[in-house]
């Protein structure tokens, strides 16, 4: 913690951050609407008032960082690169960008795709996961660093979920709480930065301290901004260092300068300006491409190999980019790809959603939630590790991964130790019968409705409307007390106000009734009645028909073009940090064609994500920026 005598210096640093944000905004915006001007004006006024009042550093830091964030978060590179009039996608929009019923091959053969069509490129703030990974890799990944980062970022506010994910650039702003959290976290990283020889490899000499200071500025600055500093930036941060050195001492100046870097929008955001434009599109600069790769595969900053490739212009062709992608997929840091599956399947929500009535479910392992999460992570890791690991295997595998504790819970013959290993699980169907299913259940019973809704929303990418106003959502009434949940829902669907949505969800959800609310196979429900998992799926594009168990449903879903298209769309949304728009039809077609061409391999789709127009290009920025 810095003491109050440093307040004046910190105010100056935050004023610098504000000016820096405005410069970035000027380069990245084509229009500076009242929606942007108004909060910036207020923030600027508040910053001046804070400076005049000489308030504490924490107050000033929050105001200054909010000002910088407002200057950036309101700026969307969809307009900065020439897609005038484009709007952010409405929350809850489902499905993919329309291609008017055309096949991927037909889309790619159209005039639209003869030139690169990258779609919009919104300014992306680091998600909480990306921030943690970036700082961990910047400081040097170790158990000590991991513990420090986890503690320092514990107060980060939860992000808004949009279309199933928490990394959508359109909703990643910086609130006052976020700004405060960034300030608090940065303070805890200053000591490890100041004592890290990777950043400070020299010893200052009396009277020539700035020679060593410039080494630190260039070294740490490159890591913080994930690219070499410009000459102006080096001068700017040297001035901060010099002022702190004059007033205090060398180590204090290192900390002050490091703090300024960590509060910069160039650290907190992934800012892209692109190279020289060619027509309506341009390519990311070499360092911007290095960042695109690293944040796609590792949710973090580039490693030294990517920095070296960028410096030697070895990220200029699709082949060079693919080679790096394949290298990165083999790195231990590729385990961070599991964040996508955690969010898509909903297993990340288990710690807050999985609560069960102890009287109805006695003797549960107290560590059941992390066991369920690790089961899915181990299973997905196994599928991703093999080129032939496919979408079909994800939904149909008659095996799972378990350790002794989870195998005992499931009633499976499995390993004797704590390590997870592959276990035969007849009757199960990949991720469909893992924690994904349980995250939706209620404390006292399974939820047919919620299980079915999950499949409709996140496996089929279909829209299910909200219930109409004043509809009775209660299944438990005097007239239904002796009925099974399935029978109560069948009665519920008699009502015209309920049938429209429940005809979509319920027939899918009943297929999973052979598994109870804690994931164990069963033949009777909570009331002791025999479960009936037979059903008929309808209202899909190509996955309709009778099914009798999850294995059959998984097989039906795995062969569905609607499901395959949905998986492509989900991957687009998470790894590109935004929804797919009509302008992305070419990129979606490229992904779908590549996915099919590689037998729907999950790992090959990740490689294909680096070969689309949306990844290889940027829309050209308008020359009308103020």
**Proportion of the chain above pLDDT 90, given as a percent:** 76
Q: Give the mean pLDDT of 329-353.
A: 97
65: Cα within 13 Å, side-chain hemisphere: 30
pLDDT at 498: 86
pLDDT at 275: 86
- Model confidence at 607, pLDDT cuts 50, 70, 90, reads very high
Tell me which residue has tokens 């005097």. 478
Q: What is the SS3 string spanning 376-442?
A: HHHHHHHHHHCCCCEHHHHHHCCEEEECHHHHHHHCCCCCCCCCCEEEECCCCCHHHHCHHHHCCCC
pLDDT at 499: 87
Q: For residue range 363-374, what is the model confidence (pLDDT) as tens digits?
A: 999 999 999 999
* Measured distance CA(266)–CA(85) in Å, rounded: 26
pLDDT at 398: 98
pLDDT at 472: 67
Radius of gyration of the chain (CA): 27
Q: Is 546 helix (H, G, I), strand (E, B) or coil?
A: strand
Is pLDDT at 519 greater than 90 in this prediction? yes
pLDDT at 20: 57
pLDDT at 620: 87
Q: For residue range 371-392, what is the model confidence (pLDDT) as tens digits?
A: 999 999 999 999 999 999 999 9
Q: Give the mean pLDDT of 273-289.
A: 89
pLDDT at 496: 84
pLDDT at 260: 97
Is pLDDT at 7 greater than 70 in this prediction? no
Q: What is the mean pLDDT of the chain?
A: 86
* Measured distance CA(555)–CA(543) in Å, rounded: 10
Q: For residue range 18-64, what is the model confidence (pLDDT) as tens digits?
A: 555 545 545 544 332 333 333 333 333 333 333 333 233 444 444 44
Is pLDDT at 278 greater than 80 in this prediction? no
C-alpha separations of 559 from 12, 222, 341, 541, 600 in Å: 60, 47, 20, 12, 10
In this structure, what DSSP letter does residue 535 have? E
Is pLDDT at 481 greater than 50 in this prediction? yes
**Proportion of the chain above pLDDT 70, given as a percent:** 81
- Conformational region of residue 47, where left means phi above 0, alpha means psi within -120 to 50, and beta covers everything else: alpha
pLDDT at 21: 55
- Model confidence at 100, pLDDT cuts 50, 70, 90, reads low
Q: For residue range 541-582, what is the model confidence (pLDDT) as tens digits?
A: 999 999 999 999 999 999 999 999 999 999 999 999 999 999
Full-prediction pTM beyond 0.95? Answer: no
């Amino acid at each position: 913690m810095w003491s109050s005598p440093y307040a004046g210096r910190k105010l100056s640093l935050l004023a610098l951050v504000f000016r820096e944000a405005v410069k970035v905004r000027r380069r990245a915006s084509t229009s500076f609407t009242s929606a942007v001007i108004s909060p910036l004006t207020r923030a600027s006024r508040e910053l001046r008032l804070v400076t005049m009042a000489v308030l504490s550093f924490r107050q000033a830091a929050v105001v200054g960082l909010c000002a910088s964030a407002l200057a950036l978060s309101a700026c969307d590179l969809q307009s900065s690169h020439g897609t005038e009039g484009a709007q952010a996608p409405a929350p809850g929009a489902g499905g993919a960008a329309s291609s008017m019923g055309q096949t991927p091959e037909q889309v790619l053969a159209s005039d639209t795709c003869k030139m690169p069509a990258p779609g919009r490129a919104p300014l992306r703030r680091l998600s909480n996961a990306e921030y943690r990974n970036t700082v961990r890799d910047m400081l040097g990944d170790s158990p000590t660093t991991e513990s420090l980062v986890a503690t320092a970022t514990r107060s980060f506010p939860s992000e808004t979920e949009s279309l199933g994910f928490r990394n959508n650039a359109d909703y990643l702003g910086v609130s006052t709480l976020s700004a405060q959290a960034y300030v608090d976290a940065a303070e805890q990283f200053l000591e490890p930065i100041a004592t890290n020889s990777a950043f400070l490899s020299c010893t200052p000499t009396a009277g020539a301290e700035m020679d060593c200071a410039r080494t630190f500025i260039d070294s740490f600055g490159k890591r913080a901004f994930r690219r070499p500093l410009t000459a102006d930036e080096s001068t700017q941060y040297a001035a901060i260092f010099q002022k702190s050195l004059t007033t205090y001492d060398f180590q204090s100046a290192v900390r002050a300068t490091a703090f300024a870097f960590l509060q910069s929008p160039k650290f907190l955001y992934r800012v892209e300006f692109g190279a020289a434009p060619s027509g309506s599109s341009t390519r990311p600069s070499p360092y911007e491409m290095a960042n695109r790769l690293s944040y796609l595969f590792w949710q973090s900053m580039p490693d030294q190999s990517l920095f070296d490739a960028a410096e030697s212009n070895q990220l200029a062709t699709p082949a060079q980019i693919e080679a790096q992608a394949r290298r990165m997929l083999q790195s231990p840091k590729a385990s961070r790809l599991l964040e996508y599956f955690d969010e898509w399947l909903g297993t990340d929500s288990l710690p807050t959603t999985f609560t069960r009535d102890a009287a109805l479910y006695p003797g549960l392992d107290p560590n059941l939630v992390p066991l369920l999460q690790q089961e899915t992570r181990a299973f997905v890791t196994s599928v991703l590790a093999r080129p032939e690991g496919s979408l079909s295997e994800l939904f149909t595998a008659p095996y799972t991964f378990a350790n002794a504790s989870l195998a005992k819970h499931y009633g499976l013959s499995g390993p004797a130790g704590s390590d997870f290993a592959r276990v035969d699980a007849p009757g199960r169907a990949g991720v469909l019968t893992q924690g994904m299913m349980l995250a939706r259940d209620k404390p006292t019973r399974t939820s047919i409705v919620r299980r079915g809704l999950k499949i409709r929303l996140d496996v089929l990418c279909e829209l299910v409307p909200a219930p109409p106003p004043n509809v009775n959502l209660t299944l438990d009434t005097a007239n239904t007390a002796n009925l099974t949940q399935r029978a109560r829902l069948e009665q519920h669907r008699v009502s015209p106000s309920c049938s429209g949505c429940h005809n979509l969800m319920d027939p899918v959800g009943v297929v999973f009734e052979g598994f109870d609310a804690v994931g164990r196979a069963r033949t009777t429900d909570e009331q002791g009645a025999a479960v009936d998992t037979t059903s008929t799926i309808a209202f899909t594009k190509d996955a309709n028909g009778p099914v009798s168990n999850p294995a059959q449903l998984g097989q039906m879903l795995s062969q569905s073009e609607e499901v395959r298209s949905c998986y492509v769309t989900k991957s687009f949304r998470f790894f590109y940090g935004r929804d797919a728009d009509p302008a992305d039809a070419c990129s979606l077609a490229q992904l779908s064609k590549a996915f099919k061409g590689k037998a729907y391999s999950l790992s090959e789709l990740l490689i294909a994500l680096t070969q689309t127009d949306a990844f290889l290009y940027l829309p050209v920025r308008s020359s009308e920026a103020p």
